[in-house]
Structure 1
């Protein structure tokens, strides 16, 4: 154990945030899965044990990925993109259909399913960081730089959006932030936004979930006109938050967990506020804000453009998703299927999130090693400089 701790590098605060979020996740999932356990004919302890295994596996993946030099991910990103496009297409055609959306793909022979959009987010962000860092000399060249970058963004965007609008919009927003950081011209960014807007309109009008999108937006905008069934999830999330008060009802004392759909996933923030009150809700928000702050520090210290863009893209993706989940829970947006990173119960989504954290920590580890090396060089150089000064003084004497 001591050997593992000694080999654990990178930002210590991020490690602490991950551990705290994992502990909160186990408490919240155990409390909110009673109804799910009853439906599946299992005990809540069985579901919790499976969730804990995924968390420990995620931490192990995070440890492994943080030990890999982040510069290797530039080469891996090409392989990721080659795999991502056919994987998203296969998911749309053969994926498991839930509520009219094909988001999950079964892993043959394992019984596991995973959302290919989680892998696509990781692939697109690493690929964009690589392309933007390598094309800096001719970043404004349309044929050499802009066309392949915009093509990758829009292709992945529309393939995800066909079944998962919320995830696609967040990923598109992160991509635009990376384009701004990568010094792409405002004109080219506006073109990308215009193309993205057209794709959104196309999917919203022609996609398989077009009626669901319109219904959710109308329910959010005019809840007084919506039926009880349509606003059921949003209303019970608000009830959970409103009855939590300042200190909450206490761990395991939630009542809305028995009514809220996906109380252990999309609406887990509402359950946390109900049981731990305003203090618990603010604590979760504070942890993600502090995570964003630590990641921004890593971005500003990164010596290479690729490391800075990679850490920025992954951290923005995680934090924007977290803020979106919390905003939806309190009624600031229409209901969507966006989980709370590292807190919501999930399978492979926890693993992909952990890998993203590991890559951020890999960039941080590289920064720390460079600073240690510079400090050591200064320490070794100091006696030599002192000896030269003494010799010079003797010579003058």
Structure 2
């Protein structure tokens, strides 16, 4: 065990928070999986869902381990090569994607011969964030201009977001907000950011106008769902998501301060997506307000640790990578919690490392592996500085010992045992 822990480099506090979130996730997932096990397509075996979640988390932590061994500056090149590949996957997802968990959107691709499905927007987000960090951290002889950044930075950003938008508005909005935040932190001029936001709003309005003009197009099939969710959220008009929200609020109200106890949720039998999108409601029902605040506190502490890791990074690329990959993870968690308590309309965002689902866990772990990689590099630099200081101290001690030995030898050669034998004293005596 000690040997295994010694191989885990990087920020140990981040490792600890990830382990706590992963361990805590087993009981809510096991409890909420009864909805799937006894549903229309289930076989009544809840233990199978727990083992599946364990396998997903195990694979996720293996991803963290292997990714944190790769020097993080390699991802500068990987982002440039990987972004066109991601675009191809997104196009394929739009036309050949599958529907999972009752969602009426093509967000997943199924790997042939393996049967594993993954959400392509997750890997697209990681590649895009690294690409933006790479561009903003490049060394230049001249400052960034709006014209040059429009094609080198914002064109890839808008292409990526445009390919995700038809199937997933919430992910697109979150990605755009995070890119703008990273650009601001990367000292991109504020007036240019204003232009970009204006262009994004204009593009979104154009998309909605095309959706109104072509209502029967499969490409715009999700627009009606988005508008109805926003309208139902801002009014008392009943909608398709009201059932989920009402059951989530009943679960939260039933939890009180300490909850009903692990595995004693009632609403898990009625709440759709209880093990993924609405797992926070099940957590509060079973563990109460205390459990919900503890989960929220873990994410906020993780955010604080990301800030520390970004501050310690000795390169601008490292700082921007930690911010661009770490902050979206925390904001996704906050959005999931806000939806459960009806502070936001239904978005379909999962709770990172707690909700069930393979691709969301794996992509989260991939991003965390890169973040830990950055902290590992800083740890290595700090260790090298300590070793250099030790070597310098040892060399100084060796020099001092040698000088002391030489001084002692000289004093022995000229020691005054007999003043008559000392030529200097003989001269003085004369």
Same fold judged by TM-score > 0.5? yes
Report the 3-state secondary structure (helix = DSSP H, G, I; strand = E; otherwise coil) of the residue aligned with 2:137.
helix
* Distance in 2, Cα, partners of 1:166 & 1:389: 67
Cα displacement string for residues 216-253 of structure 1 (whole angstroms, at most 9, x for unaligned residues): 1111111x3325x5411111111111110110000011
Report the 3-state secondary structure (helix = DSSP H, G, I; strand = E; otherwise coil) of the residue aligned with 2:262.
coil
Deviating 4+ runs (over 6 angstroms): 386-390
Does the 8 A contact of 1:311 with 1:360 survive in 2?
Answer: yes
The match for 1:300 is 311
Cα displacement string for residues 130-153 of structure 1 (whole angstroms, at most 9, x for unaligned residues): 111115544422343343211111
The match for 1:51 is 53
The match for 1:266 is 277
Q: How many residues align?
A: 394
Q: How does 1:212-223 map to 2 (within 5 A)?
A: 212-222=225-235
Correspondent of 1:82 among 57, 76, 84? 84
The match for 1:69 is 71
Correspondent of 2:112 among 96, 108, 113? 108
1:27 equivalent to 2:39? Answer no
1:281 equivalent to 2:292? Answer yes
* Distance in 2, Cα, partners of 1:382 & 1:99: 64
The match for 2:11 is 11
Cα displacement string for residues 282-315 of structure 1 (whole angstroms, at most 9, x for unaligned residues): 0110011000111111101101111111111000
Deviates more, 1:336-345 or 1:182-191: 182-191
1:96 equivalent to 2:98? Answer yes
The match for 1:368 is 379
Cα displacement string for residues 91-138 of structure 1 (whole angstroms, at most 9, x for unaligned residues): 001111454311111111111211100110111011111111115544
Deviates more, 1:319-328 or 1:375-384: 375-384
CA gap 1:202/1:25 in 2 versus in 1, 3 angstroms: farther
* Distance in 1, Cα, partners of 2:86 & 2:143: 25
Deviates more, 1:27-36 or 1:71-80: 71-80
* Distance in 2, Cα, partners of 1:266 & 1:221: 21
Q: CA deviation at 1:79?
A: 2.1
The match for 2:170 is 166
Does the 8 A contact of 2:353 with 2:364 survive in 1?
Answer: yes
1:246 equivalent to 2:252? Answer no
* RMSD of Structure 2 on Structure 1 (CA): 2.1
Q: CA deviation at 1:162?
A: 1.1
Q: Which has the larger radius of gyration?
A: 2
Correspondent of 1:202 among 185, 203, 206? 206
CA gap 1:135/1:259 in 2 versus in 1, 3 angstroms: farther
Does the 8 A contact of 1:266 with 1:338 survive in 2?
Answer: yes
The match for 1:323 is 334
Cα displacement string for residues 370-390 of structure 1 (whole angstroms, at most 9, x for unaligned residues): 111112222222354567789
Q: CA deviation at 1:348?
A: 1.7
* Distance in 2, Cα, partners of 1:9 & 1:79: 27
CA gap 1:94/1:135 in 2 versus in 1, 3 angstroms: farther
Report the 3-state secondary structure (helix = DSSP H, G, I; strand = E; otherwise coil) of the residue aligned with 1:96.
coil
Report the 3-state secondary structure (helix = DSSP H, G, I; strand = E; otherwise coil) of the residue aligned with 1:134.
coil
CA gap 1:352/1:104 in 2 versus in 1, 3 angstroms: same
Deviates more, 1:92-101 or 1:318-327: 92-101
* Distance in 1, Cα, partners of 2:395 & 2:46: 66
Correspondent of 2:134 among 121, 130, 134? 130
* Distance in 1, Cα, partners of 2:148 & 2:276: 42
Does the 8 A contact of 1:303 with 1:367 survive in 2?
Answer: yes
Does the 8 A contact of 2:230 with 2:345 survive in 1?
Answer: yes
Unaligned runs of 5+ in 2: 212-219, 408-430
